[in-house]
Amino acid sequence: MSPIVQRPDLGGPFPEHIAIIMDGNGRWATERGMPRVFGHREGVRSVREVTTECARMGVKSLTLYAFSEENWKRPGQEVTYLMRLLRVFMRRERKTLMDNDVRLRCIGRLDRLPAASLGALRETEALTADNDGMLLRLALSYGSRAEIADAARCMAEEARAGTLDPASIDEETLRAYLYDPTTPDPDLVIRTAGEMRVSNFLLWQLSYAEFYVTPSCWPEFRRDQLLGAMKEFASRRRKFGGLEEGDVAAASTESIEETT
């Protein structure tokens, strides 16, 4: 577990890795009498502003849940639009990524993406690979159960080949087979549009993450809402299953009192 970074300007701990479930694009558009795709297009503006602000503030990693495995079930016309929007976004935002020293990395079953969209992703990953600033991870064609199943399959294949001893498998072994084992787990998970579920997102990695749910739909989530989530995070007491020093002292006193 990495040391907790304190930020006096926020009032407490600072989330070095933020993960966001970007929800509510279609709802936001429908409420305004617009097609769902209008919400997706407006959501791109939020991606740009949140990414830029996180990089400016010193966030080390930002993971955006952009397209889930389940999203393939949506109407074909909407999926086609989203894949085209992804391709356009990758090309148009390269200057923004470079200006902010952001590295791009994508996780998920990326082989399911259309060739043109995947090509644009790979080009942008290569272009930003040497940047030293924040890591932006896009979860695309992503499902956490699929990620764990893929990891288990790889371990089983290596065990069958004799290159992995089943008796040696522990939590860190499994982590090494996840899509991106080197990035630390998220500190803060933000979900927009008021939904109270994780939607098959980073189930392994969210074990000790703090959750923040906002009623704002993703196209409405900009700098002010991001700062509000960070300030809420700063007010939390993160113990990771243990006790803080004051709690330890109180527990010791209670134990003494019970035995006297």
Q: What is the pLDDT of residues 131-150, one digit of tens each?
A: 999 999 999 999 999 999 99
For residue 172, being part of any structural domain is answered with no
Domain that holds residue 31: 13-142+185-241
Is 150 an active-site residue?
A: no
pLDDT mean across residues, the chain: 92
Q: Is 101 a catalytic residue?
A: no
Annotated active-site residue in 9, 25, 71, 224: 71
Residue 179 domain flag: no
Q: Is the pLDDT of residue 179 over 80?
A: yes
Phi, psi of 8 (to 5 degrees): -55, -30
Backbone angles phi, psi at 48, to 5 degrees: -60, -45
pLDDT value for 140: 98
- Condensed to tens digits (0 to 9), the pLDDT of residues 96-116 reads 999 999 999 999 999 999 999
Given the structure tokens 């084992």, which residue do they identify?
181
Supply the pLDDT for residue 9. Answer: 75
Q: Give the predicted TM-score (pTM) of the model.
A: 0.89
Question: Which residue stretches of the chain are H helix?
Answer: 25-31, 36-57, 76-92, 94-99, 115-128, 144-161, 171-175, 223-234, 245-259
Q: What CATH number is associated with residue 230?
A: 3.40.1180.10
In a domain, 170, yes or no: no
157 lies in some domain: no
68, part of any domain: yes
Specify if 178 maps to a domain. no
> Is 223 part of any domain?
yes
Total of domains in the chain? 1
Residue 5 falls inside a structural domain: no
